[in-house]
């Protein structure tokens, strides 16, 4: 399969999605492979308030009931 054919198929696919009312979105997330990621994560987890977790779970349960 040629690169040109692949590019055409992707272009057609994206055009179809746009016609269906969708749009592309780019999402940036932390790189888990980066040096220092685990230590930063540990620090953030230790700063969490246990009540925040309970509130979040209660909210999720409330929303899931509907």
* pLDDT digit string, tens, across residues 14-55: 999 999 999 999 999 999 999 999 999 999 989 988 888 889
What would the two tokens of residue 3 be?
């690169």
- Once rounded to an integer, what is the mean pLDDT over residues 4-13? 94
Burial of 38-63, coded b for 16+ CB within 10 Å and e otherwise, reads eeeeeeeeeeeeeeeeeeeeeeeeee
Q: What's the domain range around 26?
A: 3-65
Total-model pTM: 0.46
Residue-wise pLDDT for 35-46, tens only, equals: 999 999 999 989
Separation of alpha carbons 18 and 6, rounded Å: 18
Separation of alpha carbons 10 and 24, rounded Å: 13
What is the total count of domains within the chain? 1
């Amino acid at each position: 399969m040629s690169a040109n054919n692949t590019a055409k198929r992707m272009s057609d696919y994206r055009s179809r999605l746009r016609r269906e009312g969708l749009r592309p979105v780019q999402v940036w997330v932390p790189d888990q492979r980066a040096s220092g990621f685990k230590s930063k994560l540990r620090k953030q987890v230790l700063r969490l308030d246990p009540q925040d977790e309970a509130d979040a779970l209660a909210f999720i349960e409330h929303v899931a009931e509907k």
